[in-house]
Structures are given as structure tokens and as C-alpha cells.
A and B are shown apart, each in its own frame.
Chain A
Amino acid sequence: MSRQLLTGNAAAAWGARLARADYIPAFPITPQTEIIETLSAWCDTGEMAARLVTLESEHAMLTAAAAAAATGVRVFTATSSQGLLYAMEMIYTVAGWRAPFVLVNVSRGLASPITLEPDHTDVLAARDAGFLQIHCATCQEVVDSVLMAYRLAEDARVRLPAIVNLDGYYLSFTREPVELPAPEVADRFLPPFEPHELAFRASQPLSQAVVVLGGSTYSYFRYESHLAAQAALAVYDEIAADYAALTGRRHDVVETWRLEDAEYAFVMMGSFATKAKAAVERLREAGVAIGLLRLRLLRPFPAAAIRRALAGKRAVAVIDQNLSMGRGGVLHGELAAALYGQPDAPPILASFIGGLGGRDLPSEEFYAIAEVLREAARSGVTPPQRLLYTEHELRELRKLQAIALAERHDPRLGGRGP
């Protein structure tokens, strides 16, 4: 099938359409809303035989999604940022129902202060919930990942809901060439949902998640979910091979770019990783042996693939587009845990925080990070964590603060006076 220009949001909607989703509970939020608008239009014209229902909140939306999944139908839903947080109680709750469905999250920085542009702190809030997480870097990956996420989530060995993440603006509103799988190819890859015992029905009372007191029983159920998530790693490899055989596009648990013969590596997640690819090309031209490792799967965590990819590297920079207050970059911590004590682990694992709220990562910063890595490899000293933030940015911020300060003291504006 021929390629066409599609936004990440359109690609996500196509994923749901090609998956033949039956039920779509929806609630709008920027930058996700286009997805449900597109699906709504298709339901209206009959191009999609799904029932789309707008709910009163994301909390209700997630409840409806999982309840519908428990009846044995295929469910798609989408949200973003504060919407994901508002649904968080049910995110954790429904993961334990073991009723699979796919949730697309369009990443957007969290309040406060309020913003619209992306970082991954929103989706990382769902990291420990029991949802699987696939992170996309291109619009092509979005449609492919939605289809793969259904196969993974619905697999009898896994049976957990899955989140497919794409970055707001940089993917959601950006068009790139996308090759849509032909419907018959999508059907071959993703047969109708086989719900097994999932048969929640009206007037047939059933409790989705019972109360268990005493930690022992509780531990069993929680750890079973963990084991299912871990089992998803091997299942994912089978699915990726199937998808590649049908479409020619292979999406592994991690993506590597010029990493094999590299001495240094960037580690990233999401669409900004393609900027790192461009930087790697320029750095290679300049004689720097550097490559990129991008995590596609965050849950389950592909520790073995990461260890293999980074074995023997002299220094690695984890560029986190997220921030755990009082700790730093989440990926950096996860990488350190995966690499610690492993033979051939890189001696330097440096932490950079960048791209918060969509703050750009210009190519010069990748070049400068590569220089920091080389210096660290020479000296053997791991550099302190660095926020990618310049003198120029701080000067601009100081101007805003000066205005705020002047207003605070201006009695004409209700201020306290000088």
C-alpha cells in the first residue's frame, strides 16, 4: 500500500480502525482530541463499525474501557497528561482485572505550571500500574504499535492492558510519511479478540476484582501481574517477527542506531530520539564513534536487550525527557539498575535532563553531551546530573521574574506596595 502524510494523531486513529476496535470511550484533552474526533467522524460515516461514547471524565472513561473489555470486545481509548492523572485510580485498578485493551497517551507536560507541550512525566506516572508501555518515535511507529499492542495485550500468556505513547506536537500534530497496512494484512496480523473466560454481561453479576485481606493472597495476585508483564517480553519478540514478516517493518523492544561499533551512546525514549539520530550522523562525520539506544518498550523493561546493546561502551548519556523530583531522570535510574554489576557494563552512565515541556534539544547540545562523555571516559569520573538549560534561557526567565516582582509590589495592581 502506498505511503501518505499522516499526523501521529491520525496514525493512532488508523491503528484503532485497522484493529477493528468495537468500543471507544472518549474524553477530549489537548493534544489528543484529534484522535477521538477522527474516530468519531469514521463512526458517523460508518467507515468504522464501533460505538464511540463520550464519558463525563477520564476516570469514567477508563472504567468504561475496562468494563467493556471484560465483556470480551476490543476497546480503544486515548488521553493525555492531566487526563491520564485524573484516570490514575482506575489505571491501577483495571490493570488488575486482566482485561486487555489499548490506551493511547499523547504525552504532555504535567502541571504545575500548566503547559501543552510534551515530556514523559505524565506516562511515567503510569509506569508501575500493570499497563504495558510502548513508546513511539515516528508517526509510522504509532499505527504499527497500536496493532502490536493489541496482539501483546490480548495474548493469553499476557492479558494486560497496554499504553501506546506518542509525543504531543512533535508527533501528534506533525505529519510524516506513513504506510498503512492494508486492512487484510492488519486482519491477518491481528485476528478478532479471543476473550476466553471474559464474559461480563448485563444481569449476570460478576465481581471484577474482589477484596482480599491479608497480604498473602494480595501478593499472589500482584506478583502474577508482574510475571505476566515480564512474560510479555518474549511474546513481544514473536509479535515483532510476525509484524515484520507481514509488513517489512521490524520494531524491536529497543532500537539501536549505529551502536554496534560505537564507543559512546545516547539513551533516549520518544520522538526526540530521531534528533539524536541526526546528531549521531554529524558526530560520526566528525570522527566520534557514538550511537543511539532507544527504548521502545518501557514495561516490560527490556533489561537484557539494554545490557547487550551497551556492553563494552566507554560512556553512556541517558537523556531523560522527564523529571522525578528529588531523584532526577527516571530512565537513568532504570538503566543503572539494569547495568549495575553486569560484566562489560559501561563505567560511565551520565544523566541529562532535557526536553521538559517540549523544550527543544538542538543538535549542538548532543555534540556537547558527546564531548562530556569523552572527557568522562578519559578521566574516569562520572559527571554530575545536568539540566539542559542555558545562560540565555535563564536571562529570559529573569526578565519574566522582574515583571512578576514589579507587579507584586505595585499597589495599582493589587500588590503589597514597595
Chain B
Amino acid sequence: MYRIRLHGRGGQGIKTAGRMLGSAFFLSGWEVQDATVYGAERRGAPVYAYVRADHGPIHERGVIRDPDLVAVVDESLVGIPSAGVLQGLAGRGLLFILSTTPAALWQQRLNLPDRVLTLAPPAGAPPIGTLCVGAAARLTGVIDEAALVAAIRQELAGMPAAVVERNLDWARRAYAELAPHAGRVVEGGSGTAVGYAAPDWVDLPLEPAETAAPAIHAALTSLRVPTGLWRTLRPVIDYDRCNRCWWVCSEYCPDGAITVAADGTPRIDYEHCKGCLICVAQCPPHAISAIPETEATNP
């Protein structure tokens, strides 16, 4: 069975990518199970999808603990433990990252010798799931280009023709670029019930309600959660054009992440700005622009 995880952020087409890869396997004659795992919907937050493909009915379900391939759309997630990108990679799986950083450097950083492959996104392409679909399809070596194209057309049915063509182009490029590595990802086994690692079950002790009630006893705890990590695009204020109106951007910010000084100068709290870009749309003198997070220089 192939077990593949795709990681990215909400808005980078991870759910669709999982379905594209699942359909590409399915159209190639495989039994498939694919799913997206996400919590409360939120753009920019880490999300992942997984795909299982096998020769017969698939009984496994849920989280993939021992992936054959992990494909990462957004390289900034690799270093965020809660994103779980590296989970289960201690074994034998391959890690594929959309990144301009050379694979050798990633291998060294992550101590995964020979198990990291990268692809620099083609000019004009955003970090998007379709690129990982093309790469993953080629890395398995069992999906031909026709199946890949048919799957993408199927999953993007109803989208404007230009969007479909653009995605097909990206997927084809990734598929072509990874040709030297065709078949690098191999099917994993199903384990054995002999000599398995027994679960270290514990008997939960009875504890007083003061400890055992799911209550948060402190105020302002959300300040401690750096939700700025969810951002893929960053609003940047051009202070030469800002007219110090003192209220529009800060009022419209749904997260209260823009504060205004006494002289009317706004400041964006990038620790908590989620990159919704409402401020960009609302600013009367158009003094706020959006830049890709990967191009931002200051935290």
C-alpha cells in the first residue's frame, strides 16, 4: 500500500491536491482512500491531506503514522512541530519539499540522508498543491501523465479554463522535473502482529475536579498563540501614503492586530495578524499592500 501525506496551509490547495492524487491513483486502477484533516476552518493554518492506494480494499483509516512519502507545499511548515510534517519520517519515508534550498542542505538539517528531494517552484507559480501532486505522481512511478491530467481536470471541473490549464502546466512541469526519481517512493508493508511495540497503557488516576475540569484559569491566553504563523500573505503599510486617519484599518481588523499610536500611526502586530488582508481592501489611500510571506524580510 502507498501511504502519502501532503502538508501545506489553508488556501494552498491541499484538500484539492489530496483529491487530485487520490483520483490519479483511482484512474490508474488502484483502490483509494483520501481525506483532508483540518480543524476549525482557517486560512493559512497548517492543514494536511492523506492518500492511501492499494491493490485491494483498504481497511486502514485515519492518520498515516508510517508514510512512504511526505510532500510539503509550504517549506515554512517543516520547522513548526505542531504542523507534524516530520511525523513518522524516522523510518524509511521520503520527504519532498517545494523549496529553492538545495535538497542536500535539507538532508543535513533534518538528518535524513538521501531521503529529501526538492523542487524550486517554476517562475510565476505560487506554493500550491498541484505542484506536489505532479511530483508525487511521478515519484510513485505508477501513475502515467494521462491519468494525472485526467484527475486534475476532474477535480477542477467547474473552474475557469485558465485556472485548469495553469494547474495542469504546473503539475506537468513537476512531473517532468521529477522524472529522474520515478519510482523512488515504494509501497510500505502492513506490519505484523508478532513482536509489535505493545502500547504502554496507563490506568488514569481519579483527580480532583480542580485539576480534572477543562477550564482555562487565565485571561488573555490567546496572546500567547502566535497566530501570525498562519499567514501566507503579509499586509505592509507604506507610511508615506498613510494619512493617519487613526481608525479605518484598526477598526476593520477582525483580530485586533492593528494598534494606533497617539499621532494616528497604525502598527501591525505580525505575531497575531493572520493575513486576511481586510485592511488592504479597506485602507482609503491604498497605503497597505500585500506581499508573499516568503518575500517578507522583517518578522
Interface residues of A (CB under 8 A from B): 5, 30, 112-113, 116, 169-170, 173-177, 271-272, 274-275, 277-279, 281-283, 285-286, 288, 358, 360, 362-365, 367-368, 370-371, 386-394, 401, 404, 407-408, 410, 413-415
Contact = CB atoms under 8 A, between A and B. Distances in A.
Given A173-B36, A408-B218, A5 B63 contact: no
Contacts of A279: 193
A410 B216 CA distance: 12
Contact of A272 (B31, B35, B61, B221): B61
B218 A410 contact: yes
A5 B217 contact: no
Interface stretch (B90-98, B122-130, B136-144, B200-208): B200-208
Contact of A368 (B34, B58, B201): B201
Contact of B191 (A170, A363, A407): A363
B197 A364 contact: yes
A116 B38 CA distance: 10
A5 B32 contact: yes
A286 B193 contact: yes
Contacts of B192: 282, 285-286
Nearest to A3: B26
Given A173-B37, A358-B62, A368-B198, 14 more contacts: A113-B214, A169-B62, A174-B35, A174-B61, A175-B22, A275-B59, A288-B193, A360-B63, A367-B196, A386-B203, A389-B204, A390-B200, A408-B218, A415-B218
B31 A177 contact: yes
B201 A386 contact: yes
Nearest to A397: B204
A116 B214 contact: no
B219 A387 contact: no
Contacts of A116: 39-40
B61 A275 contact: yes
Contact of A175 (B35, B39, B65, B204): B35
B298 interface: no
B220 A414 contact: yes
Contacts of A368: 198-199, 201
A87 to B, nearest CB: 22
B232 interface: no
B19 interface: yes
Interface residues of B, number: 43
B194 interface: yes
19 contacts: A5-B26, A170-B35, A173-B37, A174-B33, A174-B34, A175-B22, A175-B35, A177-B26, A285-B193, A362-B65, A365-B199, A370-B193, A371-B198, A387-B204, A388-B199, A390-B202, A407-B217, A408-B218, A413-B220
Interface of B: 19, 22-23, 26, 31-37, 39-40, 58-63, 65, 190-194, 196-204, 211, 214-221
B191 A413 contact: no
A375 to B, nearest CB: 13
B59 A175 contact: no
Contacts of B190: 278, 281-282
A282 B193 contact: yes
Contacts of A367: 193, 196, 198
A271 B61 CA distance: 8
Nearest to B65: A362
B16 to A, nearest CB: 12
B61 A5 contact: no
Contacts of A371: 198
B22 to A, nearest CB: 6
B201 A407 contact: no
B32 A390 contact: no
A5 B31 CA distance: 10
Contacts of A274: 59-61
Nearest to A139: B33
Given A364-B196, A386-B201, A389-B204, A282 B26 contact: no
Nearest to A288: B193
Contacts of A414: 218-220
A371 B201 CA distance: 13
B34 A283 contact: no
Contacts of B217: 404, 407-408, 415
A176 B34 CA distance: 7
A407 B221 contact: yes
Nearest to A392: B200
